[in-house]
Amino acid sequence: MSGAGTFLGMPAFPHNAAAAVQDSQLRFNLRKATHTIRGKRAAVVGELPDWAELRRAGKEIKDHTLRHLDRYLLQLEEAVTAAGGHVHWASDAKEANRIVADLVKATGETSVVKVKSMATQEIGLNEALQEEGITAYETDLAELIVQLGDDWPSHILVPAIHRNRAEIREIFQEKMAEWGRAAPEELTDEPRALAEAARLHLRERFLSTKVAVSGANFMIAETGTLVVLESEGNGRMCLTLPETLISVVGVEKLLPTWRDLEVFLQLLPRSSTGERMNPYTSTWTGATEGQEFHLVLLDNGRTDVLADEVGRQALRCIRCSACLNVCPVYERAGGHAYGSVYPGPIGAILTPQLRGTASAIDASLPYASSLCGACFEACPVAIDIPEVLVHLRGKVRHARAERLGMRAAGWIFDRPSRLARVQRLGGRLRRFVPGRLPGPLSAWTDTREIPDIPAESFRDWWNRTDGGAR
Amino acid sequence: MTAGAPADPRPAAEIGTGTSANSRERILARIRSAVAGAPDAPITRSYRTSPEATDVIGLFAERVADYRAVVHVVDGSEAAATIRAAMARQGAVRLVVPDGLPAEWAPDDPVADDPRLTAAELDAVDGVITGCAVGIAETGTIVLDAGPGQGRRALTLVPDYHLCVVRADQIVAGVPEAVARLDPARPLTWISGPSATSDIELNRVEGVHGPRTLEVVVVR
Ligand code: SF4
C-alpha cells in the first residue's frame, strides 16, 4: 500500500534521478504534463492586471499569520468549538494517526472514505489505520489509480502523471474487484471510459460509508471555517454525505480573516491547474448539516521549520505545484526521485526541514536543483526556494574529501601571503595537473574541465608590471 | 479485507483530550519560542477589490460557457419557458426542488426534499433545479449557500443534472466582492462548470462524481 509519508530507505536523489531519466515513457508524460499546465497557467495569470499585488498580499498574509501563529490557532480553536466542532492537537505523525484511529473506532465503523490530502500521506495515515483494522479508500481518481496500483504519487496535483491510459486500464481491470465494484468487462482505455469506471466503482461507496477523512487548503481563524478546493466532486461527496468528518490539517494552513480568501481563491486555482477557478470549492464551519466534525491540528516538524529564520518561508506554501511544472530537474527526474510526498522544488526544501537531513535521501535533496530560479518566479506566495536551498546546503554534513578541501582552502585564503605562495607553487607545478582527478574527486572532473593554471598569478603580474604601467 | 475494529468506549469528544492537551501546550510553546523577537509582518492590499467591468452579465455568461456548461441569458418573462425547454432537451422529468424556489421556476411535478431524501433517492432522480447566492463574472463561478431555493449541499451533488437560475443582481465582477457578500457561517459550494478531471494523461473529462451536466439560466 502506498501512502506512508516517508519513502524511507530510499537511495539518495542522484541515484533515483539517474534511473528515472532512463525511463522515456516517464519523461514523455512529465514533459507533456508540465508544459501543458505551464502554458495554461501563464494565460490565466496574464489575465489579471494585479497578479503582482495579489502575490505580494499572499506572501504578506502568510508571513503575518506565521508570526502570530499561536494567537490565530487559539482563535481558530475557539471558533470551531463554538460552531459545534471538536479540535485535537497532534505533535507528530504517530499522535495524529492515533487520534484519527480512535475517532473512527468510536463510530464503530471499519472503513473510511478519503479525499486527497498531502498531510495524511505525510503521516502515513492509511497504513496506520490498516493496522487497526480500518480500511481507508482513496476517492480522488489519481489517488485511486495510485492506491489500486500499489504505487507512490509523483506530482502534487496530478499524482498519477507517471501512468498512461493503457497502464490505468490494466490496473482497473486487475484490481478494482479486490477493492469493491469490479471494472466493466469491456473497459477501453478512453479517458472517458476510465473515468466512468471510477465513478461507478466509487458511487456505492460514497452512498454507504459513514466516516470521511479530509485535509484542507485553508482554515480561517476568525470564523473557524475550513476550505477545500477540488475538481471531481469526490471532495464534496466526502465532506457532505458521511455522518462523521475528520479533517487533518497542518498548523500552517491558517489564514487570519474570512476576507483573506479573496486573495488565495485567486492565487491558488490559477497557479495550480491553470484555471480561473477550480470546478468545486467547499467551505464549512464546525458541525454542519447535522454532521459530527473533528479537526486534528498537525505539527509533525512544522514548528522546527518555523524556528529557522531563512527556512520558515517554506511554510507559506499553498501546495499549488507551480514550482514543479517549471522545474527543469523535476521534468527529467520525476516525482519519485525525491523520496517524499512533496516532490519538486518545494519538496527539496520542505522534506529535509520536516524530517532533518540524517538519511542519504534527505541530505541529497538540497542539491536536487540547478538554482535557476524558475520556481521562485512561479511561486504565488514568493517563496525564495533557491535561497532556502543554498541555506540548507550549508547545513548538511559534507563528504570527508570535501570537508578537508574546504578546510585547506580556508587556511590558504586566510592570509594573503599564504595565497601568494600557493599560487606560485601552482604555477610551477602546472604541467603535472591531471585532466581527471583521482578517487572520489573524479565525480567532480567527470562532468567538468579543470581550468588551466596560468604561469603567473594576477597578483604577481600586477606587482611586476605595476598594473601594466611598466 | 478488514478485521473488525473494536469500538472505542470513550465519547468522541473526549478522544485526544489526554495527550492531545499536552500536545496543545507543547505546540503553542514551540511556536512562541520559534517566532520570539521576529518583527511584525504588515499586509499590503494594493490589488483590485472591485474590478471594472462594463458588461458583467455578458462576461459571466461567457466565462461559465468556457467550462463547457450550457448558458442562457433571458428576460424575466422568458425564464419559465427556458427552464421547461431545457428540461425537455435533457429528458429530465423528476427534478428535486428545494424549499423557497420561486414558484414560476418550478417544474409541474416537483420532488420535494421533505422528508429528507436519502442519498439513494437522490441518486434516482433526473436532476435538481436551484437558485444561487452569488455569481462571479471574472471566474464564471456560481456560489450556493444552502439558503432559500438552494437546499442542503447533497441536493446539487448526487443528481447527474443541475439546472441553476441566476438573477442579474446576484452577479458581481470579481472574487473580492463575492467574498464580501457571503456569510462564512453558512456551508458554501462554489461551482465553476461541471465536475471534471484531468488525471488521465491530462485529458479533461467532464463529470466524475458531481453532476455531469450544468445548465445555467441567467435572468436579466
Ligand atoms: S512552493 Fe510556491 S509554487 Fe511550489 S507548491 Fe508551494 S506555493 Fe506552489
Rounded average pLDDT per 10-residue block, chain B, 220 residues: 50 64 94 95 94 90 95 96 96 96 92 94 96 98 97 95 97 97 98 86 80 95
Neighbours of B74 (CB within 10 A): 16
pLDDT greater than 70 at residue A20: no
Instruction: Tell me the three cell numbers of residue A140.
Output: 480522488
Across A25-47, average pLDDT: 88
For residues A68-74, give the mean pLDDT: 98
Comparing A313 with A415, the larger pLDDT belongs to A313
Question: Highest-confidence range of A371-375, A432-436, B60-64, by mean pLDDT?
Answer: B60-64
Burial of A16 (0-12, 13-18, 19+ CB in 10 A): buried
What CATH architecture is B56-219?
A: 3-Layer(aba) Sandwich (3.40)
Residue A125 has pLDDT above 50, yes or no: yes
Instruction: Report the run of H or E that residue A103 belongs to, with start and end.
Output: helix A93-107
Which DSSP symbol is given to A307? T
Report the residue of B22, B198, B213 to disrupt the A interface, i.e. the one with the largest count of A CBs within 10 Å. Answer: B198
CA of A375 to the centre of ligand 1 (A): 8
pLDDT at A158 over 80: no
Interface ipTM: 0.93
Q: For residue A394, how far is the Cα from the chain centroid?
A: 21
Tell me: pLDDT of A293 over 60: yes
Structural Rg of chain B based on CA atoms: 22
What's the average model confidence in pLDDT over A273-302?
A: 96
Domain ranges of chain B: 56-219
Which ligand 1 atom sits nearest the alpha carbon of residue A316? 7
Q: What is the pLDDT of residue B218?
A: 98
Instruction: Determine which residue's CA is closest to atom 8 belonging to ligand 1.
Output: A320
| pLDDT surpasses 60 at A311 | yes
> Which pairing describes strands A218-220 and A225-230: parallel, antiparallel, or unpaired?
antiparallel
Q: Give me Rg for the CA atoms of chain A.
A: 26
Residues carrying CATH 3.40.50.10420, chain A: 48-300
Among A23-27, A40-44, A405-409, top mean pLDDT goes to A40-44
Which chain B residues touch A139 with a CB distance below 8 Å? 209
Q: Contact at 8 Å (CB) between B105 and B77?
A: no
| Residue A316 and residue A383 in contact, taking contact as beta carbons nearer than 8 Å | yes
Residue B214: count of CB within 10 angstroms of its CB: 26
Rounded Cα distance between A277 and B190, Å, is: 9
Q: Is the dihedral of CA B36, B37, B42, B43 positive or negative?
A: negative
- Report the alpha-carbon distance of residue B126 to residue B161 in Å, rounded: 7
In CATH, the number for domain A48-300 is: 3.40.50.10420
Rounded to two decimals, the pTM is 0.88
Identify the band that residue A418 occupies on the pLDDT scale cut at 50, 70 and 90: confident
Say what percent of chain A tops pLDDT 90.
Answer: 56
Tell me what the mean pLDDT of segment A300-308 comes to. Answer: 96
CA gap A278, B192 in Å, rounded: 6
Residue A164, pLDDT above cutoff 90: no
Nearest CA to ligand 1 atom 2: A379
Longest dimension (CA), chain A: 93
Spell out which residues of chain A touch residue B27, defining contact as CB-CB under 8 Å: 73, 89, 91, 251, 297, 299, 303
A137 SS3 class: strand
pLDDT at A296 over 50: yes
* Mean pLDDT of all residues in A36-47: 94
Which residue ranges have their beta carbon within 6 Å of ligand 1? Answer: A 271, 317-323, 346, 378-381, 383
DSSP string, B71-95: EEEE-GGGHHHHHHHHHHHHT---E
Distance A379 CA to ligand 1 centre (A): 5
State the average pLDDT for chain A: 88
Q: Select from A280, A296, A302, A321 the residue whose CB has the most chain B CBs within 10 Å, as the one to mutate to test that interface.
A: A280
Residue B100 has φ and ψ, to the nearest 5°, of 90, 0
Distance CA A195, CA B20 (A): 41
Rounded to whole angstroms, the Cα distance separating A147 from A158 reads 14
pLDDT tens per residue, range A139-150: 988 888 888 988
Question: How far, in Å, is the centroid of ligand 1 from the Cα of A321?
Answer: 5
Report which secondary-structure segment, H or E, holds A138: strand A135-138
Chain B 119-158, CB below 8 Å of chain A: which residues? 119-120, 123, 136, 138-141, 146, 152-154, 157-158
3-state helix, strand, coil in chain A (%, to 5): 55, 10, 35
> Mean pLDDT across the stretch A416-439?
76
Residue A394 cell numbers, joined: 550549508
Q: How many residues does chain A have?
A: 470
CA distances from B166 to A124, A157, B137, B144, B169 (A): 44, 31, 12, 10, 8
Residue A89 grid coordinates: 492537537
Cβ contacts of residue B127 below 8 Å, gap of 6+?
B87, B90, B92, B94, B95, B96, B159, B160, B161, B162, B163, B211, B213
* The amino acid at A374: A
| Cα B82 to Cα A19, A427, B77, B165, distances in angstroms | 59, 89, 10, 10
pLDDT at residue number A2: 36
At residue A5, the pLDDT reads: 42
Res A31: pLDDT: 87
